[in-house]
Amino acid sequence: MQDRNILHPAAASSLPVEVSHLTKSFGSFRTLDDISFSIAQGETVALLGRNGAGKSTLIGCLMGFLLADSGNIDIFGYNIAILPREIRARTGFVPQTMTGFGNFRVAQLMDYIAAFYGELSPIDPALTAWADLDPKKQVRSLSGGQKQRLAIVLAMRHSPEFLVLDEPVASLDPHARRDFINLLDTYTQRTGASILISSHILSDLERLCSRLIFVRQGNVVLDVSTETFRATTRWLEHPAPDQLLAALPADIQILGQRPDALLVHGWTGNLILPEGTLTVIPDFEDAFLEITTPRISPAETNTPDSAT
Ligand SMILES: Nc1ncnc2c1ncn2[C@@H]1O[C@H](COP(=O)(O)OP(=O)(O)OP(=O)(O)O)[C@@H](O)[C@H]1O
């Protein structure tokens, strides 16, 4: 998978996570296509995309569960290809669904997992209070939401510096979900940990995350701070969008198009636009739909159905 030698951490940059030119195919279907990004310490990054966009595959590669075809992933300066123990000890992962361990009782499983990390400080009381789990219950008897809470506690028990969450709130009720988002927010502020979170609950991501990475068909189509996204993403409404297109400077990114409007990124109030253009702040969900809708061209054959 890796194109270069394993880095010694001392030689690495100070960014906790660096992904460069990652590709991954299943058969002839290219799931990840030249993905590059990095995550700084203390950043909370949202991974956004439709079903099948490649989010879980990317997370699988980041966690070392999947081997990429090419490209590099360095976490804390260590190349993931050999996954040194140090990466695991400093990383937490919440999967989409928790499977296995059905015969364990909750407390037993917590102790069992904690044992892999050596000496641990006492568990954060805010985490156990939020999870609200009966320590004597068997894991198999927990509800879907309770299993999800347990998976979150297990991933955060050792206070990871890099926490990866793959749709962690899908089975949580709105109370638990809101409290969890607040818990994550407090956690990053207290510890300076970096977070990568994939979810379809867009309001949570917009509230929690300082950065947004939009993935479409295995490509990163937009990687931007939430603040910049809010300030510079606009619908430009005009009956003739072609006139708009002609008037826009080259550094404006076109994120989407409707018969009477363009969704642009890089907007500033100084743009000189055709007369009658209306500038509208997009609703976040609306923008998500536009940015992540697959673009189909007749020549495009890279679909899961075409995979062998
Ligand atoms: N093991 C596999 N074998 C073949 N194809 C796979 C495999 N894993 C994923 N894929 C394909 O890769 C594409 C991306 O899947 P992935 O699970 O990464 O999407 P996702 O963005 O996480 O979707 P969701 O939001 O539904 O979880 C899909 O078309 C999927 O069918």
pLDDT, tens digit, 9 for 90 and up, residues 172-193: 888 888 888 988 888 999 899 9
In what side-by-side order are the strands of the sheet with 211-216?
Answer: 91-94, 162-166, 194-198, 44-48, 211-216, 219-225
Model pLDDT, residue 84: 59
Residue 305: inside a domain: no
- Both 278 and 187 in a single domain? no
pLDDT bin (cut points 50, 70, 90) of residue 56 is very high
Residue 183: inside a domain: yes
Model pLDDT, residue 83: 63
Bigger pLDDT: 10 vs 65: 65
Q: In angstroms, what is the span from residue 207 Cα to ligand 1's centroid?
A: 26
Q: Which residues line ligand 1 (CB under 6 A)?
A: 26, 31, 49, 51-57, 304
Domain extent for 235: 224-292
- Both 65 and 35 in a single domain? yes
Q: In angstroms, what is the span from residue 218 Cα to ligand 1's centroid?
A: 10
- Both 132 and 256 in a single domain? no
Average pLDDT for the chain: 85
| Amino acid sitting at position 119 | E
Mean pLDDT of 203-210: 89
SS3 state at 153: helix
Bigger pLDDT: 207 vs 295: 207
Q: How many domains does the chain have?
A: 2
Mean pLDDT of 241-251: 89
pLDDT in tens, 126-163: 888 888 899 999 999 998 889 888 999 999 988 899 99
Model pLDDT, residue 45: 96
- Both 67 and 208 in a single domain? yes
Q: In angstroms, what is the span from residue 9 Cα to ligand 1's centroid?
A: 32
Model pLDDT, residue 216: 93
- Both 276 and 147 in a single domain? no
Model pLDDT, residue 103: 83
Spatial contact of 184 and 92, defined as CB atoms under 8 Å apart: no
E strand or H helix at 17: strand 17-26
Q: In angstroms, what is the span from residue 304 Cα to ligand 1's centroid?
A: 9
Which residues, 6+ apart, have CB-to-CB distance to 8 below 8 Å?
A: 77
For the CA of 200, the closest atom of ligand 1 is 25
- Both 170 and 269 in a single domain? no
For the CA of 215, the closest atom of ligand 1 is 21
Q: How far out from the chain centre does Cα 173 lie? A: 21
Spatial contact of 193 and 210, defined as CB atoms under 8 Å apart: no
- Both 16 and 108 in a single domain? yes
